Structures are given as C-alpha cells and as structure tokens.
C-alpha cells in the first residue's frame, strides 16, 4: 500500500479531479506539464535558490529544551515560522509561480479566506513582476483589513466576492469563474493540498522541502533520520503534508495530525473534519468534508482563521481512513493555552494554527527517549489581537 498519489490523482479512494467541463483544459494542461517542469534541473535550481536566499531556508530544527522537560520527550521544533512572510505558505507560492512562468502565463489569480495565502501569493507576484488578482469574500475583507492592505501594498488587486456568505467559498467560486474565462494567460495558485488533481500532489511536493530538511537535520542532531513522532496542524493540510512527505512509507514514524475542534466537536462550532465529516466532493476532489445530510457544506468554525476549512486534502482523508496517521482535534482554549505555554517556555509566540499542533502534545503519552518533531507552521505576529482578546497571560 502506498500513501502517496497514483497517476490518476487518487490517494486510495480519495482525490481525483471533479471539475466542470469548462475547467478541463486548464487543469489538464497543468496535469500534463507539472511533473515534467518540476523535475527539470533549471526549475530545481531556481526554486532552491529562492528558497534559500529569499525565503531564508533551511529553517532551523530547534531542540526545545524547556518544552521537552515539560512533556518528557525530546521535542524539536521545525521553525517554519522563520520563513519570509512568517509561515510555510510561501514554499508553495514560490513553486507555483515558477511553474506558471514556465507555462507561459502572465497573470496569477488566487482566492483567500483569512488573507494568509493571498499575502503569500501577492509576495511572489511582486517578486516576479506578475499581475495578480486575489478574490476574497467581502465579509472576510472587513475582518482581515491588515492583510487586504498588505496585498495592496505588494501591488495586488483584491476583488471582493459579494455572493453567498461573502467568505472563502464565494471567493473560490469567483476565482474559478475568472479562470474559466482566461484559460490561456492565467494560472490559479491554490494554497493548500486541496482542489482537483494535480494540485494536492503539486502543493505537497513544494512543501516536501520541510521533511527533506528534517531528515538531514535529525541525522546531524540525533544520529538518525527518523523521529518517533511528527506532529502538525491540519487546515487543508499543506504544512502537515510537507512535514509527513518523506516519512509516509516509514511505518515506525508516527504521524500525528491535529485539527481545530473550535468550541468542541459536540457543538456546531467546529472544524474537526475527521471527527465530523464524511466522504463527498469539495473544491474539485473527493475527500472528507463536513456536510449536512443532503450534502450542503457546513460552515466551519475555529479561533484560528487558517484552520477554519470544512474539509481536508485527499491525502489526509486517506491517511485517516487507512490509519497511517492519527488525528486529534484541539479546542480553541486548548490551542490558546498551548500557544501561551510555548511563549513562556521558549520565547516563541506561535501562530494560533501552530498552537493547535502544540496542544497535540497533551494528548500523547511519550517515552523519555522519544524524538518528536513538531512542525511550527507560522509565527504569531498576525494573531496578536486574538491573544490580547483571549488574555490569561
């Protein structure tokens, strides 16, 4: 059994490309070209040079001594929070914009919910001098004003979506419509391991630099490449996919995914897809999603904007169903406490998304010589307002 994608874009029974006829030419062009382009030496050279000189990779693997003492294991933090723009998302947007250039595209579109993916996309478009439009729900634009202004400063046009709930789903619909009308000159940058094949695999490959670096860093620091545990938070699942990627077939490495339980999985304010969801089609792929009995997508809730997504990428649906990865969910308050704890113990204020992964440390019984890598997906600067409102520090 393999846990990675097959040539049709399936992870077990999940994945594929469930798209309207009108989008077929765009997605098919990408499917035919992506592997060929990504594997070219010149692509790899440019990608790696930008990851090193622009993003600041490799990110450190930091042995968190005080956190380790607290949990009774050897805990390392993979410091994705130290990337340019403050999170792992830029690994993917750099990869996709280089791909778009090689496909001869002149324009980039994206959709964004909280604005983090929009900012990572606007950043690489400025870097490459490419025209960029980001679709964003009108309500999200009000709630995330600083990110809207960041994108504008970077030269991106932010277009409000006024339909539906005026949130992520509506922005996605607008972006799809734009792409259908501009198939030749435009590339659509999706921000997580979601969407129709080949997006989940493409994004996972760009993020796989995380586990590639981990292997070398662990070898140097512990004498072996394989940790006992890898822990990551899951919204769509891109930082987790990158952290798990090179370990998927190493059964001794336990893969731990932490979703956002919101106010609790027994309330109707949650985003814990594996606990509450079932199979269906979301954003072009077959996966697990939170839906009503007649298939309406349920609006998710989490204190963390980046985990507030009603599904998970098909790779994670498969890892869950096959039992290869263990899924937990952390509530808002468990995550906030874990974020404040890391701040006090290690002098690192994490993104609230990453704080959910930290809350996962509470759920596991470690042995004292266990080596644990926790993927610290982002930094907490963007979340200062939420920390202040929460209080308790």
Residues classed as catalytic: 89, 111, 377
Q: Does 375 bind ligand PLP (CB under 6 A)?
A: no
Q: Which of 321, 297, 320 is nearest to 309 (CA)?
A: 297
Q: What is the per-residue DSSP string for 31-56?
A: HHHHHHHHHSHHHHHHHHHHIIIII-
Give CA 340 to chain center in angstroms: 22
For residue 386, the minimal CB distance to ligand PLP (Å) is 13
Q: Which of 330, 348, 351, 361 is close enough to bind ligand PLP by CB under 6 A?
A: 351
* Token pair recorded at residue 31: 């499917």
The CA–CA distances, whole Å, from 56 to 157, 175, 348 equal 27, 30, 18
For residue 45, the minimal CB distance to ligand PLP (Å) is 26
Q: Which of 211, 238, 270, 302 is close enough to bind ligand PLP by CB under 6 A?
A: 238
Smaller CB distance to ligand PLP: residue 116 or 172?
Answer: 116
For residue 222, the minimal CB distance to ligand PLP (Å) is 25
For residue 387, the minimal CB distance to ligand PLP (Å) is 14
Q: Does 98 bind ligand PLP (CB under 6 A)?
A: no
Q: What is the per-residue DSSP string for 155-194?
A: TPEEEEE-STTSSHHHHHHHHHHHHHH-TTTEEE---SS-
Where helices occur in the chain by DSSP H, the ranges are: 24-39, 41-50, 65-71, 89-102, 116-128, 138-143, 145-153, 168-181, 199-207, 209-222, 238-244, 273-276, 314-322, 332-346, 352-359, 384-390
In sequence order, the 6+-apart residues with CB closer than 8 A to the CB of 176 are 23, 188
* Strand 278-282, strand 285-289: pairing: antiparallel
Q: Does 236 bind ligand PLP (CB under 6 A)?
A: yes
Smaller CB distance to ligand PLP: residue 9 or 200?
Answer: 200
User: For residues 316 and 237, is the Cβ–Cβ distance under 8 A?
Assistant: yes
User: For residues 271 and 307, is the Cβ–Cβ distance under 8 A?
Assistant: yes
Tell me how far apart the alpha carbons of residues 229 and 352 are, in angstroms, rounded to a whole number: 21
Q: Which stretch binds ligand PLP (CB under 6 A): 145-153, 246-254, 270-278, 349-357?
A: 349-357
Tell me how far apart the alpha carbons of residues 162 and 139 are, in angstroms, rounded to a whole number: 8
Q: Does 92 bind ligand PLP (CB under 6 A)?
A: no
Residue nearest to ligand PLP (CB): 378
For residue 224, the minimal CB distance to ligand PLP (Å) is 26
For residue 238, the minimal CB distance to ligand PLP (Å) is 3
* Token pair recorded at residue 359: 């809350």
Residue 277-316 contact track with ligand PLP, rule CB under 6 A, x = bound: -----------------------------xx---------
Q: Which stretch binds ligand PLP (CB under 6 A): 161-169, 210-218, 276-284, 348-356?
A: 348-356
Smaller CB distance to ligand PLP: residue 3 or 244?
Answer: 244
Residue 172-211 contact track with ligand PLP, rule CB under 6 A, x = bound: --------------------x-------------------
For residue 370, the minimal CB distance to ligand PLP (Å) is 24
User: For residues 144 and 168, is the Cβ–Cβ distance under 8 A?
Assistant: no
Q: Does 239 bind ligand PLP (CB under 6 A)?
A: yes
Q: Does 262 bind ligand PLP (CB under 6 A)?
A: no
Q: Does 237 bind ligand PLP (CB under 6 A)?
A: yes
Tell me how far apart the alpha carbons of residues 259 and 357 are, in angstroms, rounded to a whole number: 8
Tell me how far apart the alpha carbons of residues 345 and 67 are, in angstroms, rounded to a whole number: 6
Smaller CB distance to ligand PLP: residue 74 or 88?
Answer: 88
Q: Which of 27, 38, 87, 243 is close enough to bind ligand PLP by CB under 6 A?
A: 87
* Strand 371-376, strand 74-79: pairing: parallel
Residues near ligand PLP (CB under 6 A): 87, 89, 116, 192, 233-239, 306-307, 351, 353-354, 377-378
């Amino acid at each position: 059994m393999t846990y990675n994608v097959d040539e049709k874009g399936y992870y077990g029974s999940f994945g594929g490309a469930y798209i309207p006829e009108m989008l077929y030419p765009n997605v098919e062009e990408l499917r035919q070209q992506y592997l060929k382009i990504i594997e070219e030496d010149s692509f790899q050279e440019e990608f790696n040079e930008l990851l090193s000189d622009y993003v600041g990779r490799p990110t450190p693997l930091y042995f968190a001594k005080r956190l380790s003492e607290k949990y009774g294991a050897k805990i390392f933090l993979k410091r994705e929070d130290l990337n340019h723009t403050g999170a792992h998302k830029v690994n993917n947007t750099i990869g996709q914009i280089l791909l778009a250039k090689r496909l001869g595209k002149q324009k980039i579109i994206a959709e964004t919910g909280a604005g983090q993916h929009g900012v990572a996309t606007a950043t690489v478009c400025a870097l490459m001098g490419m025209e960029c439009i980001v679709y964003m729900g009108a309500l999200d634009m009000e709630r995330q004003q600083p990110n809207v202004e960041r994108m504008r400063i970077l030269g991106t046009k932010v277009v409000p979506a006024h339909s539906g709930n005026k949130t992520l789903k509506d922005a996605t619909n607008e972006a799809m419509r734009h792409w259908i009308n501009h198939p030749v000159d435009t590339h659509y940058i999706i921000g997580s391991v979601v969407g129709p094949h080949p997006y989940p695999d493409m994004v996972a490959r760009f993020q796989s630099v995380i586990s590639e670096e981990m292997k070398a860093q662990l070898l140097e620091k512990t004498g072996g490449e394989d940790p006992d545990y890898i822990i990551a938070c899951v919204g769509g699942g891109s930082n987790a996919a990158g952290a798990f990627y090179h370990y998927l077939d190493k059964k001794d490495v336990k893969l731990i995914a932490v979703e956002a339980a919101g106010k609790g999985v027994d309330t109707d304010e949650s985003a814990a897809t594996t606990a509450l969801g079932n199979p269906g089609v979301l954003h072009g792929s077959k996966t697990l999603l939170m839906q009503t009995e007649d298939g309406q997508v349920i609006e998710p809730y989490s204190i963390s904007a980046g985990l507030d997504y009603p599904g998970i990428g098909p790779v994670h649906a498969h890892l869950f169903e096959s039992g290869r990865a263990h899924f937990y969910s952390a509530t808002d308050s468990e995550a906030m406490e874990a974020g404040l704890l890391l701040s006090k113990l290690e002098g690192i204020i994490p993104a609230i998304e990453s704080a959910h992964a930290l809350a996962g440390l509470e759920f596991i019984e470690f042995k004292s010589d266990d080596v644990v890598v926790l993927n610290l997906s982002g930094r907490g600067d963007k979340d200062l307002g939420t920390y202040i409102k929460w209080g308790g520090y």
